[in-house]
């Protein structure tokens, strides 16, 4: 039986051609505004409206074409329990790469040294800024999933011990634990790397108490969601040097329009004033970068083909848990 799938947003020509070339023959794909086709069974969009969901009486799958679950989509789809919700994890590779870049930059405090040398100041060479080595240290990945699968082998190659925390499929013999182990693991964690989604259960998970459990001089990297870490507790830990340094690619405040692109503080706390913080403007998923769009189309084709073949579709979302 054919699978009728519809993308509400039309990709650029080259990615769309690539997607069509990879599709199973039984996938009938349409794109753009709502088509007059009540046979659509799979809808690809991240933030559907109620009108869009109800336009397709045979709809049984909503596929979000990016990682995560927008809060408004979670609320809406709870009214349609017969529709399975999935998303894509195509950006695990670029997100893992920026996590690594932030970790290494924070460990060596590269930003202050870069800033000094741009002013022809070589002082950091002769009176070095404090730095910490990664080799021989322990990294804890909070949210051990597809990003961690890319990042962990690289950290191990650098000589780090890698531990993980995730919600299910625990493997204590491999150092993968449940959330109840967090406070036990933090005192042995030299680099806390956060890849968690933003949900009511993860908001504020890392506060003053958790940061104080880390060894003094630890590192923190967040490429998940900013709200997992209390921003004021993070500021205090960095300012007091409880944390050696941190790197963030996710933020507490974002521009709301092009007019505010150049005037929006990333947080209420004055994190931007700290020399031991590396700031990245949420580039981990790499947006519409051509290479990442190739990854997106490949992942989308994998999901559509699985649906057409009656196979399990990757990355089903638990609406109650929020990811």
Model confidence pLDDT, tens digit, residues 12-51: 889 999 999 999 999 999 998 866 677 899 999 999 999 9
Q: What number is the average pLDDT over the span 269-276?
A: 97
268 has pLDDT over 70: yes
> Residue 322 has what pLDDT?
83
Average pLDDT value for the chain: 94
The rounded distance, in Å, linking the Cα atoms of 169 and 176 is 8
> Residue 285 has what pLDDT?
77
The rounded distance, in Å, linking the Cα atoms of 66 and 197 is 12
Structural domain containing residue 52: 3-90+289-308
Query: 258: which residues sit within 8 A by CB, 6+ positions away?
Result: none
Write the pLDDT tens digit of every residue in 285-316.
Answer: 766 678 889 999 999 999 999 999 999 999 99
With cut-offs at 50, 70 and 90, classify the pLDDT of residue 103.
Answer: very high
The rounded distance, in Å, linking the Cα atoms of 323 and 241 is 33
Same domain, residue pair 152 and 169:
yes
Q: Cβ atoms within 10 A of the Cβ of 282, count? A: 15
Same domain, residue pair 98 and 177:
yes
The rounded distance, in Å, linking the Cα atoms of 14 and 153 is 33
Domain membership flag for residue 321: no
Write the pLDDT tens digit of every residue in 46-76.
Answer: 999 999 999 999 999 999 999 889 989 999 9
Domain membership flag for residue 251: yes
Return the higher-pLDDT residue of 36 and 166: 166
Same domain, residue pair 194 and 229:
yes
Domain membership flag for residue 207: yes
The rounded distance, in Å, linking the Cα atoms of 190 and 213 is 11
Same domain, residue pair 256 and 128:
yes
Describe the crossing of helices 110-118 and 92-108 by its angle, rounded to 10 degrees: 70
> Residue 320 has what pLDDT?
86
What is the chain's alpha carbon radius of gyration, rounded to the nearest angstrom? 22
Distances (CA, A) of 233 to 31, 211, 240: 45, 8, 11
What count of Cα atoms within 13 Å lies in the side-chain half-sphere of residue 160?
27
> Residue 115 has what pLDDT?
94
Write the pLDDT tens digit of every residue in 85-102.
Answer: 999 999 999 999 999 999
* Residue 30: φ, ψ to 5°: -125, 160
Return the higher-pLDDT residue of 304 and 322: 304
Q: In total, how many domains does the chain have?
A: 2
Domain membership flag for residue 19: yes
Domain membership flag for residue 313: no
Q: 1: exposed, middle or buried (C-beta count within 10 Å: 0-12, 13-18, 19+)? A: exposed
Write the pLDDT tens digit of every residue in 192-204.
Answer: 999 999 888 899 9
> Residue 127 has what pLDDT?
83
């Amino acid at each position: 039986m054919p699978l009728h799938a519809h993308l509400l947003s039309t990709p650029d020509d080259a990615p769309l051609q690539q997607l069509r070339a990879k599709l199973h023959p039984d996938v009938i794909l349409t794109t753009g505004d709502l088509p007059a086709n009540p046979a659509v069974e799979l809808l690809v969009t991240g933030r559907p409206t109620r009108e869009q969901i109800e336009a397709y009486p045979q709809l049984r799958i909503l596929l979000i074409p990016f990682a995560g679950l927008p809060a408004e989509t979670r609320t809406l789809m709870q009214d349609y329990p017969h529709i399975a919700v999935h998303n894509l994890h195509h950006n695990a590779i670029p997100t893992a790469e920026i996590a690594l870049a932030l970790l290494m930059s924070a460990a060596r405090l590269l930003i202050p040294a870069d800033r000094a040398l741009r002013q022809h100041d070589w002082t950091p060479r002769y009176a070095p800024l404090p730095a910490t080595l990664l080799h021989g240290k322990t990294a804890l990945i909070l949210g051990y999933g597809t990003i961690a699968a890319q990042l962990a082998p690289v950290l191990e190659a650098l000589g780090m011990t890698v531990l993980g925390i995730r919600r299910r499929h625990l493997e204590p013999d491999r150092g993968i634990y449940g959330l109840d182990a967090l406070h036990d693991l933090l005192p042995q964690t030299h680099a806390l790397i956060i890849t968690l989604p933003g949900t009511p259960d993860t908001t504020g998970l890392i506060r003053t108490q958790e940061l104080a459990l880390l060894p003094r001089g630890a590192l923190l990297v967040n490429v998940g969601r900013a709200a997992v870490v209390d921003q004021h507790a993070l500021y205090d830990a960095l300012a007091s040097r409880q944390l050696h340094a941190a790197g963030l690619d996710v933020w507490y405040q974002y521009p709301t329009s092009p007019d505010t692109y150049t005037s929006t503080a990333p947080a209420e706390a004055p994190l931007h004033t700290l020399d031991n913080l590396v700031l990245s403007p949420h580039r981990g998923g790499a947006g519409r970068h051509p290479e990442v769009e190739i990854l997106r189309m490949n992942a989308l084709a994998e999901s559509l083909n699985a649906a057409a073949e009656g196979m399990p579709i990757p990355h089903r979302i638990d609406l109650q848990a929020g990811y």
